[in-house]
Amino acid sequence: MKHFEVNFDGLVGPTHNYAGLSFGNVASLSNAASASSPRQAAKQGLMKMKALHDLGLKQGVLAPQERPDMATLRRLGFSGTDAQVLAKAAKEAPAILAACCSASSMWTANAATISPSADTSDGRVHFTPANLTNKFHRSLEPAVTGRILQAIFNDDRHFQHHKHLPDNDHFGDEGAANHTRLCSHYGHAGVELFVYGREAFNAAAPAPKKYPARQTLEASQAIARLHGLDDDTVVYLQQNPDVIDAGVFHNDVISVGNQNLLFYHQDAFVDTQAKFAEIRRKFGDGELHFVEVPRDQVSVAEAVKTYLFNTQVVTLPSGIMAIIAPTECEESDAVRTYLASLVEQDSPIKEVHYMDVKQSMRNGGGPACLRLRVALNDEEVAAVNPSCLLDDALFNRLNTWVDKHYREELHVADLADPALLMESRDALDELTQILGLGSVYPFQLD
Ligand code: SUG
């Protein structure tokens, strides 16, 4: 049997904008209120998907959410026609309107946590959408995310879907952004690494002082229970609270893993050496590479600015690993020099590919934020909704679809435009047909 890692990238939605919604995420706050280009953003994302497909990797597509989220605006008391709801929200509560218009579901590393069948007690692939409770705009995502995942992985012989965790900060769950899996081959049982920012039920435990820790230990433990993971193959690792306070709002901004490699910053974790010993013990036999980036070569601030760790580390069909890095890494002397030396070192990473995802980067989302990893065997791949797997035809079709429906430029003031709502719904209605999803959006189900 063959095994693969399939990356499901989030298609950027038609309302992509910069609203400064994410306290603790430096890029989101510093680009607040600048003009965005939904069309460029969607096309940059599609180019990345196509580039990975052309490297010989399996690539999937995850549909965006319905925005503006009219159901939430109505739930919050704005009433009348759709146009009146938008006008009232824009006048009385522009920050709430902006939150209800965010295209943040593009960062599918936060869509869900996934455990491959080799790790779970019932031999199925388990999915739990992330509740994303820490940010209001993101907490609006999990229900529709769950429906989209069920429409793609729609075969209960292979796939088990769980409901997102209770919507409360005690169980704050940010999905795969705080979860890495180490294994010798994608099909072998691996060690699942859950990285948390704080303990919700232990006030004495270390926690950041300035910015929020979005992921709790208790949420990670709940996911491990739901997915039927064996304690002997799970490691809980605390993120260094000081780096959260320096703008590392998710673990995937300071470390990334692939197969038997963990690429991380010297300051990423608490109690690093003891935890690495636990990983080694639970990993068992087989080579394991810990590639540490020293702070005197790349500072935490430079890592946050360039997203050196929000790179995708992928295994190419030839067996070597490649890093997919944002062009911001190439533009930084320190990071470009570091990456040039990394491929010469004794590590499996042998290639660097730079990609332009600047529209997403300005909101704090790099290449790794834009993708959800799903390790599957060939039978499981055959059970995936084939319309969501990228090939040249789907790439061309989605580009044409973006050209037809997306605006070239969008300002926060445009979010109240009723025409944007109609454009967005028309686009998504057509998209659900292209991707064979059926009805997943509230406007389709009402
Ligand atoms: O949750 N930005 C996202 C970025 C998520 C990046 N994902 C990972 N690291 N996996 C967030 O902070 C900004 C939206 C705005 O300000 O308009 C935003 O939601």
Q: What is the pLDDT of residues 254-285, one digit of tens each?
A: 999 999 999 999 999 999 999 999 999 999 99
Task: Tell me the best of 16, 21, 134, 211 to mutate to test the pocket of ligand 1, counting ligand atoms within 8 Å of each CB and taking the most.
Answer: 21
Q: How remote is the CA of residue 13 from the centroid of ligand 1, in Å?
A: 14
Is the Cβ–Cβ distance between 66 and 144 less than 8 Å?
Answer: yes
Run of H or E including 92: helix 82-92
**CB atoms near residue 318 (< 10 Å):** 11
Residue 319 pLDDT exceeds 90:
yes
Through-space distance between the first and last CA atoms of the chain, rounded to whole angstroms:
43
pLDDT at 165: 98
Residues marked as catalytic: 174, 250, 369
Atom of ligand 1 at shortest range from CA of 369: 10
Closest-lying ligand 1 atom to the alpha carbon of residue 177: 10
**pLDDT mean over 122-128:** 98
* Residues with C-beta less than 6 Å from any ligand 1 atom: 18-22, 25, 28, 102, 104, 107, 109-110, 135, 138, 177, 249-250, 252-253, 363-365, 369
CA of residue 104 to ligand 1 center, whole Å: 6
pLDDT at 148: 98
pLDDT recorded at residue 446 = 77
Ligand 1 center to residue 445 CA distance, Å? 28
Q: What is the DSSP letter of 203?
A: T
Q: What residue owns the CA closest to ligand 1's atom 14?
A: 21
- Average model confidence (pLDDT) for the chain? 97
pLDDT at 295 over 90: yes
CB 235 within 8 A of CB 278: yes
| Dist. CA 323–CA 252, nearest whole Å | 14
Which pLDDT score, from 0 to 100, does residue 409 have? 98
- With a CB cutoff of 8 Å and minimum separation 6, the contacts of 111 are 10, 62, 105, 129, 130, 141, 145, 149, 175, 176, 372
Residue of the CA atom closest to atom 8 of ligand 1 = 369
CA of 137, closest atom in ligand 1: 19
Whether the full predicted model's pTM is greater than 0.95, yes or no, is yes
Give nearest CA residue, ligand 1 atom 7. 369
User: What confidence category does residue 46 fall into, taking pLDDT thresholds of 50, 70 and 90?
Assistant: very high
The answer to whether residues 440 and 62 touch, using CB atoms and an 8 Å cutoff, is no
Helical (H) or strand (E) element with 376 = strand 371-377
Closest residue (by CA) to atom 12 of ligand 1? 22
